[in-house]
Structure 1
């Protein structure tokens, strides 16, 4: 084999007209995916649930195969698309008639913040890092958990937040990056501190080292109490 053989690198053994066939195959794959999304209804073009991501990834794999591989005929791929569409429509029908089936297939919303505190049972079952979740909160204008009355992780991965009124905001755990909040095991001065794991707040004396009574964590950071900027 010769290095930098442009014929091999660009077309290999295929004739130049194969590029036109690739264009036709790609247009076919695009049309098939477009028709799938149109026929499947508006759910197909909103933010996707886990089940919908699975369907789209399977479609993408089939579309990629038919676009680039000359030995993949078009009709079997058409059957793939029709089969996936049928599975999708049957699943949507099943979810509309059986809430239990819908929860099994797509999951259900999970409460992750309640009354300015993390829901420990929910946190333990979620595969999400604190940094990633803090970023989600900051992008919605949250500076600390005391501003949030209720936070729900939706089935499509979005976080829905319901806020306290300005005069109801309480002290809470800062969600700012590490550079903007110091963490301590023995606090340097007195004040209200928040548990870095669950958000529980309590006054601590200078030099005090204490386990959180809610989750037994021993790391604290100064709690914030600012109202949320409008």
Structure 2
């Protein structure tokens, strides 16, 4: 195999790992709620890293090798995530409680930058009108907000916070 192709594979792996880290650091909320600016950002990033992956090789073979390297790396990463819990915890964020028995966790909402409008939209999608009707509202590891409603109460689970955050004053019941 041509030495240039090994260079393309190495560059593709480096870009993949950078993008994985960048997405992990920007937060899980960004994954599920793409707006116009996010789509534009994704398109610009893909265009900007293309040359970083293939260098001066703009041939079909160079592009296919870069794509194959990305697919293979993604496959191997998913296998490793499945088998290695420690790595999975490092890479994947844990779900966070946003609402518990109708009470909002303003510190968590502020830390995750979840607006009142986003929370109300998730509630409407689940057919819930008021915060008081929410038994449990969670930001899932994939960035979606899950809402469980109904009568009865859930047992309280306390999570220790490492940092204190300002509260989000725009959220009200």
Please give the TM-score of this superposition, normalised by the length of structure 1: 0.41
Answer 1 or 2: higher relative contact order, Cα 8 Å, separation at least 6.
Answer: 2
Distance verdict in 2 for CA 1:154–1:216, change over 3 Å: closer
Cα distance in 1 for residues equivalent to 2:126 and 2:102:
15
Deviates more, 1:124-133 or 1:82-91: 124-133
Residue matched to 2:116: 130
Match of 2:130 among 135, 144, 168: 144
Cα distance in 2 for residues equivalent to 1:130 and 1:109:
19
User: How many residues are aligned here?
Assistant: 115
Query: Structure 1 unaligned runs (5+)?
Result: 1-48, 66-70, 170-214, 224-230
Cα distance in 1 for residues equivalent to 2:106 and 2:97:
10
Superposed CA offset, 1:101-125 (max 9, x none): 2232232211111111112342232
Match of 1:73 among 42, 46, 59: 59
Residue matched to 2:68: 82
Cα distance in 1 for residues equivalent to 2:62 and 2:141:
33
Cα distance in 1 for residues equivalent to 2:115 and 2:80:
33
Residue matched to 1:180: none
Pairing of 1:11-22 with structure 2 (within 5 A) = none
Match of 1:101 among 87, 93, 103: 87
Match of 2:46 among 61, 66, 73: 61
Query: Structure 2 unaligned runs (5+)?
Result: 1-29, 35-41, 51-56, 154-165
Larger Rg belongs to: 1
Cα distance in 2 for residues equivalent to 1:220 and 1:99:
36
Match of 2:78 among 79, 85, 92: 92
The Cα RMSD (Å) is 3.6
